[in-house]
Each structure stands twice: as C-alpha cells, then as structure tokens.
Amino acid sequence: MKLTYRQVLSRPDADGRCRVVLDVAWDGQRAKLVTGVSCRPAHFSPEARQVVMRKDPDATRLNNELAKVETAVNAVFTLASAESRPVTEAELLAAARAALGKKPAGKRAAVEVPVATTPQDFYALWQTENPGQTYNSARRYRQVVGHLEAYHPAWPVLALTRKDLLDYLAHLAALGLVDSTVSKHIKFLRECFRLGGKVLPAWLKIKTRYGRAPALQPAELRALMALELTDDDLREEAALFTFQTLLLLRDSDLRALRPHHVAPVDLPGYPATPVLGFHQAKTGDEVRLPLPPAAAAIWQRWAGRPPIPAQQERSRRMKQLARMAKLTRPFVRVRYVRNEPVETVLPLYKVVSTHTARHTGADMVMLGSGGDSNLKEKALGHAGVYGHDALERYGPALLKAWEKVLGAVGATEKNAPTLPGIVHQAVPSQGGGGVLIRRVSYR
C-alpha cells in the first residue's frame, strides 16, 4: 500500500488555494480520496512530514485534517488484514468521508474504524501510520507504553484530565525520569489525541530544559583520531565519529547517507573537492559541505555506505574509545527533573555519545574560523542564518578552519591505508605551524 499526496492545480479558488487529494495504490488498484484540504501550491510539500508547510497560517488544522484521512485509510487496511480479506475502493472512499464528518455517498456505508482506547491500542495505530519502523526507532514509544500500562493498566487515554496528567508526572519524577525523557511521554499522549480525532488539551504539554551537551576540545579530538586500534568494531566507530564530527552530522543523517550524496565540486583553491549534499532528516533543509581530507578517505573506504550499528551499540563503543583516549576531565552533567537542575560530576568518557560529534564539530569550526558564528551555523545546516550563501565562498573557509584545528592529524584517516581513486596534494597548513596538510580530492 502506498499513499501519495498531490494537488489539483487546474481549478484554484479565489485565493489561489488548490485542493489536496490522497492517492492510494495497493494490489494493482488505485483510489483517489478527497481530503477537504486546500492550500497554495507554494505551501504544498508532499514529501515532507508536514504536507502543508508552516508558512500557511492554517497549517496545523490542515495537517490534522490530512492526518485524520490517512489514519482512517490505514485502519481500513489493518482491519482487512486481520480478517484476511482484500480492501475495496468503496471502503476507502467511505472511510475518508467518515473521517471528514461527511455522510456516506449513495449506498456506500462508512467502514467502521477500529476503536482505540488504551495505550497499546494507540501504539498499534501509530505503527500502522508509520510503517517500516525499525526496532530501535520505535523503542522510545514502546517504553512509554510500558510505563503507562504499569501505572494504570488499560488506561482509557482519551479520558485523561489535567489532574491525571499531574499525578502521572509526579509518578515519573518519583521514578527518577528526567524531563527530556518525560517529554517523550507527553509527545505520545498528544499522538493518542490526534489519532483519536480529539482536540489537544491546552495543558497537555511540557517545557523541557537541557543542560550543556559535552563536546571534545581540540587536543581531545586529535587524541581520539590518533588512536592505534586493532579491534575492527572500535576502528569502525572511530571512523564514524570522525566523519560525523568533520561534517557536524546528526546520527539520523549519517544513517541516511548513500553514495550519490557525495560528488566532486571545483572550489576556489580546492579543485575537484568531494562535497556532501543532503536534506536533514529533522528539518528537511538542504546542506552542502566539503569533505575534509580525513572524511574523504573514510567515505571512499565505505564506498558511500556507512556501516552503522544500533545507536545504543554506537554509544557503548564511543565511551570505550573515549576511555582509551584518556578523556577523563570532569564534566558537570546537568539534567532537569520537574524543571529543577540536578548536577552530576562525571569523567568525560562516561557522558560522550554519538551527538557529541555534532557539538564537537561546531566548536571546532568556531575555533578554526576565528569565531565566525555564521560559518558554524551554515555547517550545522541552520538555514535561517547564512541562508543562500554560495558553496564556493563558505566551502574553502570550512576546509581552512579544519586545517587550522587539526593540523597533520586531519590529513588522512589514522587506521585506513591510502586508497585508489584519491589524490593527495601536499599544501601548507593555514595556521598549523608550517606542517604539511594533505588535500584530498576525487579523480
């Protein structure tokens, strides 16, 4: 089953808004469903998580309407699968009309959408709405459902009151859960109200504060990159962390990379430089970044397909690497419980994670560029700052910043041999004490 949103551009209304329809394709059949939603073509983004962009002043309501139709369609397929029977076009049309609060057309009867009441019910609906979820990507909601069921078995979630929520938050705080974890519970409860077609209560929210995230200092990053490793898993994790740091990537973006995301580009002073271009999973914004030499060597060895284990395994390996690199300086971890800070002093190697790479990369770009915050924001992919600057201008500045920070350590990957297809050109380091840096490009 495949769902595709499209606009009917032939008949816009007086305000230039065009109807959005939902095409459903399954088992060689196709149905076109009316959604009751219209928006301007400039605000329509069918591939994004929010089909109607936030630029539309009515985006929240319109996206909720689309979600109702999509939930009803998924419920039809779920019910048909449970009853081992095929889905008909008539069922889908009836379900869509019912989701929009319309009467059945003609003799078609609206299909009965399965009633969800308990956390388990809504979790099943959420899984149907989000097919293809890996075990790890769905893990947090599974944990939320476990907490909810343990606190109140078969809790009718949509009957939740403000007092119920406050009592439940007090229960989570007594268990020692920090606010950043509790926010996942709030998010799931909000999903339940959306899936149930109910208006979200104004009080069903939480304001979450975060403490300062750990980041490596230049000497610590160089020490980690210079480790002599014999264990294959640790060597691969060192490569993953190095690549993430040099490109300031989130773990989710690293996992989505494929060979076509890197291509050679001629930059001023850096001919045929491999450049990474992709859209961030979190924001959808496009990012284009040149690969420093060590990152280019790693990418070539991967053949464009990073070998990435589960995130928990990555975090375990990362902590082991940090301990081997003797990253033991004290770090004050601040976590918030019911909006109150709780401080814990820990050695750095105990708090590093995959996201430490992104924070480290941001700090390094600032150091290497003499405090150019705009360059850092561009490298992070924050489109609002430095929005449409040309790669030919900021690309060389990024490469020079990394040369200044890493010196000879950043020339090539420590644990990888010289690879065919890569040209290494010796050039003077910018501020690296006269050390030669190897500039890497593709042939």
Residues 12-28, mean pLDDT to the nearest whole number: 84
The rounded distance, in Å, linking the Cα atoms of 306 and 170 is 42
Confidence of residue 134 (pLDDT cuts 50, 70, 90): low
**Bigger pLDDT: 226 vs 1:** 226
Residue that the structure tokens 């049309």 belong to:
93
Supply the pTM of this predicted model.
0.61
Q: Residue 178 CA to chain centroid, in angstroms?
A: 21
pLDDT tens by residue, 243-262: 999 999 999 999 999 999 99
pLDDT tens-digit series, residues 274-287: 999 998 887 778 89
Q: What mean pLDDT is reported for the chain?
A: 83
Provide, rounded to the nearest whole percent, the portion of the chain with pLDDT above 70. Answer: 86
pLDDT score recorded for residue 286: 85
State residue 132's pLDDT score.
66
* Terminal Cα-to-Cα distance of the chain (whole angstroms): 42
Which residues does 3 contact at the CB level (< 8 Å), separation at least 6? 22, 23, 24, 70, 73
Angle at 156 between CA 154 and CA 157, to 5 degrees: 115
221 has pLDDT over 90: yes
Determine contact, residues 143/222, Cβ cutoff 8 Å.
no
Strand order in the sheet with 2-8: 2-8, 18-26, 29-39
* Residue 104 binned pLDDT confidence (cut-offs 50, 70, 90): low
Average pLDDT over residues 67-79: 89
> pLDDT, tens digit, for every residue of 366-416?
999 999 998 999 999 886 554 567 889 899 999 999 999 987 555 554 544
Per-residue pLDDT, 239: 95
246 and 257 in contact (C-beta within 8 Å)? no
For 170-210, write each residue's pLDDT tens digit. 999 899 898 889 999 999 999 898 888 788 888 998 888 88
Predicted confidence at residue 384, as pLDDT, reads 56
pLDDT band at 424 (very low <50, low <70, confident <90, very high): very low
Cα–Cα distance between 156 and 148 in angstroms, integer?
Answer: 10
Residue 129: is its pLDDT beyond 80? no
Q: Which amino acid does the sequence have at 69?
A: V
For residue 154, pLDDT beyond 50: yes
For position 434, what pLDDT does the model report? 33
pLDDT of res. 119: 92
Neighbours of 318 (CB within 10 A): 22
Q: How far is CA 409 from CA 274, 302, 414, in A?
A: 19, 20, 8
CB 369 within 8 A of CB 401: yes
> Once rounded to an integer, what is the mean pLDDT over residues 37-54?
87
More confident residue, 341 or 284: 341
Please tell me the predicted confidence (pLDDT) of residue 165. 93
Q: What is the mean pLDDT of residues 304-309?
A: 92
- The residues, ordered by sequence, that sit 6+ positions from 153 with a Cβ below 8 Å of its Cβ are none
